[in-house]
């Protein structure tokens, strides 16, 4: 359902912007090469929700892990937003953990909570490498989660997802909001990071170009509009509590369970 969008899409938009300025785009292999991000994500088989064991051998070299340079760049500003929001949380579900870089950074900075990673099965080996190397006590084994499939039965205090809704189809976006709402108690936050348009208008030229890039790659994807997300959230029982500007023309949307 998701990939390492948390950082790589920032890099893609930066590359698009540099290309428009006559500079050579430089983004590596990350999530763009991952088939989970392609058009087939909308029709992928529903994944069951289950624990996945950590690898028996933990001697993997650091360069064997998936890595997104842009994820390293955006993790600090995202953490600055998350820390006060999750101050009272004890369990957080991350939807679309990608490489796992955000997970280890956030979990280390917020040791009071359990950070539960989740993503499509193809992404889990890379996440396991990051979790195993960090060795944090508050990052359990990642869970296989496809928004088109079963969702967990457990309740979480909060949920987080970065750079995911623009690589989902509209029905998948709606299923994610419904799934999250079922997991959260009243008042709990669902924090959604990424690029968004507002009133049908993109907030920057780079976001507009990124939207075109997404649609060319997969017509079902695209930068999502805030008004659309408000309607989807309301139907699921969530309301927008905050809209926080972020670097690279991103925003952090804080939804609360009604």
User: 26 or 202: which carries more pLDDT confidence?
Assistant: 202
pTM of the model: 0.80
**pLDDT tens-digit profile of 8-67?**
566 555 544 433 323 222 222 223 323 233 333 333 322 222 233 334 433 444 558 888
The whole-angstrom separation of Cα 221 and Cα 1 is 12
pLDDT per residue as tens digits for the range 143-186: 999 999 999 989 999 999 999 999 999 999 999 999 999 999 99
Between CA 107 and CA 138 the distance in angstroms is 7
Q: Which domain holds residue 213?
A: 5-257
Per DSSP, the residues of 8-40 read HHHHHHHHHHHHHTTPPP---STGGG-GGGSGG
pLDDT, mean over the chain = 81
3 state SS for 51-118: ECCCCCCCCCCHHHCCCCHHHHHHHHHHHHHHHHHCCCCCEEEECCCCCCHHHHHHHHHCCCCEEECE
Q: How many domains, in total, are found in the chain?
A: 1
77-93: pLDDT as tens digits: 999 999 999 999 999 99
Distance CA 74, CA 233 (A): 25
The whole-number pLDDT of residue 6 equals: 52
CA distance 116 to 114: 6
Compute the distance between CA of residue 186 and CA of residue 163 in angstroms, rounded to an integer: 25
Q: Which two tokens stand for residue 188?
A: 């709990």
Q: In this structure, what token pair is assigned to residue 243?
A: 């809209």
| CATH number of the domain that residue 94 is part of | 3.40.50.150
Q: What are phi and psi of 17, to 5 degrees?
A: -65, -40
């Amino acid at each position: 359902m998701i990939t390492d969008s948390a950082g790589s899409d920032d890099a893609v938009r930066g590359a698009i912007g540099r290309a428009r300025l006559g500079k050579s785009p430089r983004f590596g292999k990350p999530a763009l090469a991952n088939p989970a991000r392609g058009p087939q994500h909308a029709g992928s088989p529903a994944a069951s929700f289950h624990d996945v064991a950590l690898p028996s051998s933990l001697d993997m070299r650091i360069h064997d892990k998936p890595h997104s340079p842009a994820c390293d760049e955006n993790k600090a500003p995202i953490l600055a937003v998350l820390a006060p929001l999750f101050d009272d949380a004890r369990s957080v579900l991350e939807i679309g953990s990608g490489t796992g870089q955000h997970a280890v950074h956030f979990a280390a900075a917020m040791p009071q909570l359990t950070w539960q990673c989740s993503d499509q099965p193809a992404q889990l080996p890379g996440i396991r490498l990051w979790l195993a190397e960090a060795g944090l006590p508050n990052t359990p084994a990642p869970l296989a989660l496809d928004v088109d499939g079963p969702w967990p039965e457990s309740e979480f205090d909060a949920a987080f997802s970065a750079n995911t809704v623009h690589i989902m189809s509209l029905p998948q976006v709606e299923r994610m909001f419904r799934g999250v709402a079922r997991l959260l108690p009243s008042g709990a936050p669902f924090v959604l990071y990424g690029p968004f348009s507002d009133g049908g208008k993109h907030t920057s030229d780079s976001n507009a170009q990124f939207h075109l890039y997404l649609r060319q790659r997969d017509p079902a994807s695209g930068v999502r509009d805030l008004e659309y997300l408000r309607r989807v959230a309301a139907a699921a029982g969530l309301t927008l509590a905050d809209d926080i500007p972020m670097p690279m023309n991103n925003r952090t949307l804080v939804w609360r369970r009604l």
